[in-house]
Structure 1
Amino acid sequence: MLKKNKVNIAIIMLLAGFSFQSQAQDLSQIGKGKAIKVNGGLSLSQLYNTAFGGDLSREPYSYYLNGNINFSIYGLSIPLSFNFSNEQFGYSQPFNQYGISPTYEWITLKAGYTSMSFSPYTLSGHLFLGGGVELRPQGPWTVSAMAGRLQKAIPVDTAVGNQPAFHRFGYGTKVGYQGKGYNLNVTFFKSKDDPSTANQLTDSLEVFPEENLVLGIGGSTTLFSRVSLNFEYANSAITRDIRSEGVERGAFQPFPSGGALFTHRLSTAYHQAFKTGVNYGGNGYTVGLAYERVDPGYKTHGAYFFNNDLENITVNGGTQLFKNKLSVSANVGLQRDNLDDTKINQMTRWIGAVNTNWTVSKKLNVSASYSNFQTYTVIRSQFEDINNIDPLRPIDTLNFTQISQSINTSANYVLKADKEHVQSLNINLSAQQSSDEQSGEQQNTGSAFYNSNIGFSNQWKELGLNIFTSVNASWQEAGETQNTTIGPVVSVNKALFEKKLRLSLTGAYNNSYAQSDLTNSVFNCRLSAAYQYKEKHNITFTNAFLTRSTPQDDGSTNKATQLNGTLTYTYQF
């Protein structure tokens, strides 16, 4: 009866539409040990919010119920997690997602919301709703396959001005062969939009139903024990509008003509991507040569972001010096665009990435890195975290920016270190240069982001006391516009009752400026207490106060105050 109830609980949770996610599970233990084991945890949080002198941006009272339960049936682990709240967040991706990846010996199955990667130019970590399989038997062969929804249909909604999208379904496979001293793999990936799934969609919105077919091949080998070779090639056919007229296949197009697999149309374009490299490993150093070319317009539905119209020729190397105290790795080369000679101007530039880490002494460690390879990342000022007084409301991380160059440096110096007292000083500096596009919208050329902080930590081990102070600064430059935020942070942490109770008090004050004019001043103070009872029970209370002062054009100051409290109980079983 107990086993039946446990199974019923799992079924009810799934039908309730809770989040259901898991890692790959090993089925090889079926029939061994205890039949069913259950463990997990529950967390209940209650929040109150009050605002003075301004609008309350969220509900005055909110609650969050989170939980995770892991059912182990003869070694088959099925973790479930659920989230329930009276408040919803506006994310573009569905919040309730589920997925499972059981493994039996050399077979791994994937179902629900999951992701797979075949190669950088075909399928590369794109989330899909469907199923997949990875077969890795003993012997030289491996096979991976997937099929599922890559993109959810989004109808036109003129009231909110959303970005409509068609339902997109994709499938693909990767077959690999591991020989003696070499490996080879071939990849196939296909996706197609359903033109009937976005209502009221007109061509004026420039959103068209697309079709994509990608064929790829890659591999690597080792020569003379020290020399390694690798390559990756893909050819992608993109049909911008599947409603356009069909045409005959060209002489050099590697795709079959017509049929259910792919139809060549007037709006179909064919692009290639290729990357290869050779590396030599010596005694204490490595050196290599790499070449990459991605055609203009190269695109695959299996990746979210992609840089194209580029050719890179690079030399890389790495070594350790001064009895391994200094490690250096570098990648330097030449890059150019306008590969099809359609642009008025061609860009040719030196590219490179350098990473160093230097253990100067037992007390001082310094690291630095620089790169001007184009990458996608989330740009966020450190003050977004400092001024966020709601610990349960995550900051949006979906706003990706294309970075053309970045530099980061940090240094940590231990002023004092003994059995009772530790003092250290830490400095961090970072700078990032963005390109012309952010979240799909054109930006002013030359946007730059700078973050810096210097912190001092003072820790008394016997007392369980730690005091941390820092000064933080952020700058953003876009054309003639300059935005600056600067201010100090002080944090005091104390452990009591054999570290079962932990108290923390943090205060921060920062000013923001546009050009040299003060735009607002923010002061926040956060008091928190966390108590652990018999290892399984945890109670946390946080009370946060934030006040924001904004100068007005008439010389007055608009003040707004927020008070936020959170009480959380967590139980682990």
Structure 2
Amino acid sequence: MFLFTTIAYGQNIDFESFGKGKALKVSGGISANSVFYNANQQTGREAFTYFLQGNLNLSLYQFSMPISYSYSNQGALLNYNVPFKFNRFSLHPKYKWFQGHIGDVTMNFSPYTLNGHLFTGGGVELTPKGKFKVSAMGGRLLRATEDDDEPNTIPAFTRMGYGLNVGYEHNKLALNVIGFYAKDQMNSISTIPEEKGVTPKENLVVSLGGAYKISEDLDIIAEYASTAITQDLRAEDSSNGEGLASLLFNDKSSTEYHKAIKAGFNYSFKKATLGVTYERIDPGYETLGAYFFNNDFENITLNSTTMLLKDKLSLSFNIGYQRDNLEKQKEQSTNRTVGSVNASYTASERLTLTAMYSNFTTFTNARLDQFETINDDNLLDNANEQFDYKQLSQNANINVNYILAKSEKNQQNLNVNYALADVSNEQNGIVRIGNASTFHNANVSYSLVFPKKKTAITTAINGTVNTIEKENATTWGPTLGVNKKFLDNKLNTGFAASYNSSTSKTSFTSVTNFRINANYVYKDKHNFNLNGIQLFRNSTSNYGKELTITFGYNYSF
């Protein structure tokens, strides 16, 4: 015997609300942008592209119908095929606690299930007053794309996906159950391009999550996700399933089962917070509801924030440890520690200082086969076999901002910024020549604003020194910019010029560019903008110039 429990919602239409307020409201905005590009060298960039976007919101009493679209000629300019759309159109009808999604849309359930994947179909979000919230979706994740002679073509089967997210909230407890299913249609393309690693797949993901507020200052969160993914639907049936998802999945010999776990707590006390998070994702974990997934890692992080010196000093830090090769399947294992500190100090109304430091240390150790070691007859390769690799990465940044003057006549500001990036590779305790690099960057800028004249002038000088091995590469250059408003602030114009030169032992490059921009607002609803960049690049090997002009129009109503 089977027992099924079903939760049903009925839409209570409030007829008394009709006739109150404005019957029909129309609002929204449209935008059109075009880019013209010209260069004296081959860059692979199209000479002219355009983008059309807009949103329209129609509302009738308590009903509303947001409409959005995005259209461009980018997709038509490609000489190869892809299984997704560049142009999109969607409807989002809404009435009280009912929200619909129709067309080319995205929905997010959780990072381990459905996470931002575009689909063509429909979805709903039900958020009535009470303990339960429900979201559901269904549609095409990928469209059928035949393989052709173009190497950049991305062949794909028609892939359909379906998802359900049920949430429960009561007092201090919140629970969440998610199910996501996707399957390729094997007959949607004529040939299966196995040489590109494309095979028909099927996937089921089940996730259980929750949060509990122990007190006003302490709460805990947790999520467990189980995925079952068949890498090739043509494989034979099997019965080796494991995990929560296997209970509802048709197992095959190419089916893989993986899990993901995340848990943590956050504690607040006085003006400080403390949080600890643990996350583990099995090797090979993936879901067809996301475009990319990091897996085969385990990490634990500790973070905290606090305020000191009468709230003038803000401090935050983050410390973490991560390792991979969880199932000892790789020849090398990597673990790393991460630490960062951020500080912001408001010394006075005029002086603000901020600083940041982070340290990333990655360790890699080779895992040798014991039989290869026993049978090894080469006594000269011990140094290579005892491989112990460490990568050290340090980043620091200091910023000082000082207001020199602030009056009705003029405002002056000085900003100084310094950044350091240092990376070194250590092998068996030694950092060899060529395995370290240091990057220094310094910037000083001064701005002068005349509020009554609606004019702003900015000058800056920027310099970098990059050291790799024994060679130094330097880049420096000044920048000058002027902004001016006209016609009662309706027309905003700007001009900027900059020059920078890069020098090393083997090459010299100088870049000069001029920028102009203008923005005009007509009757508060029409916005016109024009931008132009002329760039000249001169190096020891060639001379190049590029011109980019962008024109845009936005209308809101």
What TM-score comes out, normalization by structure 1 length? 0.75
> Per-residue deviation at 1:267?
1.6
Secondary structure, counterpart of 2:101 in structure 1: strand
Residue 565 of structure 1, CA deviation: 4.9
Structure 1 residue 78 and structure 2 residue 69: aligned?
no
CA contact (8 A) 1:279 1:286 kept: yes
Deviations 1:368-414 (A, max 9, x none): 4456789xxxxxxxxxxxxxxxxxxxxxxxxxxxxx98665544222
Change (3 A) 1:133 1:414: same
For residue 171 of structure 2, what is the aligned residue in structure 1? Answer: 180
Q: Which residue of 1 aligns with 2:386?
A: none
Q: Which residue in 2 is equivalent to 1:492?
A: 482
Take 1:121 and 1:170, find their aligned partners in 2: how far apart are those partners? 15
Q: Give the 5 Å matches for 1:151-550.
A: 151-250=142-241, 252-256=242-246, 262-369=249-356, 409-428=398-417, 453-472=443-462, 486-512=476-502, 516-518=505-507, 520-550=509-539
Q: 1:28-62: per-residue Cα shift (whole Å, max 9, x none)? A: 876543333334556666776665x5569777777
Matched, 1:36 2:24: yes
**Which has the greater radius of gyration?**
2
Q: 1:114 aligns with which of 95, 105, 115?
A: 105
Query: Do the aligned residues in 1 keep the contact of 2:205 with 2:227 (CA within 8 Å)?
Result: yes
Residue type at the aligned position of 1:497 = L
Deviation at 1:342, TM superposition (A): 2.0
How far is 1:339 from its partner?
1.2
Instruction: For residue 204 of structure 1, give the secondary structure of its aligned residue in structure 2.
Output: helix
Distance (Å, rounded) in 2 between the aligned partners of 1:103 and 1:43: 24
* Residue identity (%): 40
CA distance in 2, matches of 1:568, 1:283: 49
Letter in 2 for 1:38: V
| Distance in structure 1 (CA, Å) of the matches to 2:24 and 2:293 | 45
Cα deviation for residue 233 of structure 1 reads 0.8
**C-alpha distance in structure 2 between counterparts of 1:286 and 1:30, whole Å:** 48
Distance in 1 (alpha carbons) for counterparts of 2:53 and 2:277: 48
Give the 3-state SS of the residue equivalent to 2:195 in structure 1: helix
Q: Which amino acid aligns with 1:322?
A: L
Shift of 1:141: 1.1
Greater shift in the superposed pair: 343-352 or 225-234: 343-352
Partner SS for 1:161: coil
Change (3 A) 1:299 1:449: farther
Q: Report the Cα distance in structure 1 between the residues aligned to 2:399 and 2:102, rounded to whole angstroms.
A: 42
**Is the 2:461–2:478 contact (alpha carbons within 8 Å) kept by the matching residues of 1?**
yes
1:72-117 CA-to-partner distances (Å, cap 9, x unmatched) read 3335243445656699665965331012222222221111122222
- Report if aligned partners of 2:70, 2:88 keep a CA contact under 8 Å in 1: no
The superposition leaves residues 148-170 of structure 1 with CA deviations (integer Å, 9 ceiling, x where unpaired) of: 22233332232343232332221
Whole-angstrom CA distance in 2 between matches of 1:475 and 1:265: 57
- How far apart, CA to CA, are the structure 2 residues paired with 1:564 and 1:285? 49
Q: Which moved more, 1:62-71 or 1:30-39?
A: 62-71
55 and 235 in structure 1: CA distance in 2 versus 1, 3 angstrom threshold: closer
The C-alpha deviation readout for 1:156-197, integer Å capped at 9, x for no partner, is: 232343232332221111111112211111111111222333
Count of aligned pairs: 501
* Counterpart check, 1:97 vs 2:81: no
Structure 2-normalised TM-score?
0.77
Counterpart contact for 1:50–1:56, Cα < 8 Å: no
Residues 247 and 265 of structure 1 are in contact (CA less than 8 Å); yes or no, is this contact kept in structure 2?
A: yes
Q: Find the residue that maps to 2:288 and give its secondary structure.
A: coil
Measured in 1, the distance between the counterparts of 2:465 and 2:155 equals 35
What amino acid maps onto 2:347 in structure 1?
A: V
Contact 2:65 / 2:92 at 8 angstroms: preserved in 1? no
Distance 1:487 1:255, change over 3 A: same
Question: For structure 1, which segment, 106-115 or 524-533, has the greater mean C-alpha deviation from structure 2 after superposition?
Answer: 524-533
Q: Quick one: which amino acid aligns to residue 290 of structure 2? A: A
Q: Which amino acid aligns with 1:295?
A: D
Instruction: Please name the residue that 2:136 is paired with.
Output: 145
Query: AA paired with 1:216?
Result: S
Q: Is the 8 A contact 2:147 2:155 kept in 1?
A: yes
Question: How far apart are 1:309 and its partner, in Å?
Answer: 1.6
1:559 matches 2:551: no
Whether contact under 8 Å (1:145, 1:173) holds in the other structure is: yes
Q: Is the alpha carbon distance of 1:452 and 1:268 closer, same or farther for their aligned partners in structure 2, counting shifts above 3 Å?
A: farther
Task: Tell me if structure 2 keeps the 8 A contact 1:169–1:192.
Answer: yes
Residue 313 and residue 79 in structure 1: after superposition, are their counterparts in 2 closer, same or farther (change >3 A)?
Answer: closer
SS at match of 1:125: coil
- Structure 1: any 5+ residue segments left out of the alignment? 1-26, 375-403, 435-443, 553-557
1:129 equivalent in structure 2? 120
3-state SS of paired residue (2:146): coil
Contact 1:65/1:85 (<8 A) preserved = no
Aligned to 1:196, the other structure's residue is in SS state: helix
- Over aligned residues, Cα RMSD in angstroms? 3.9
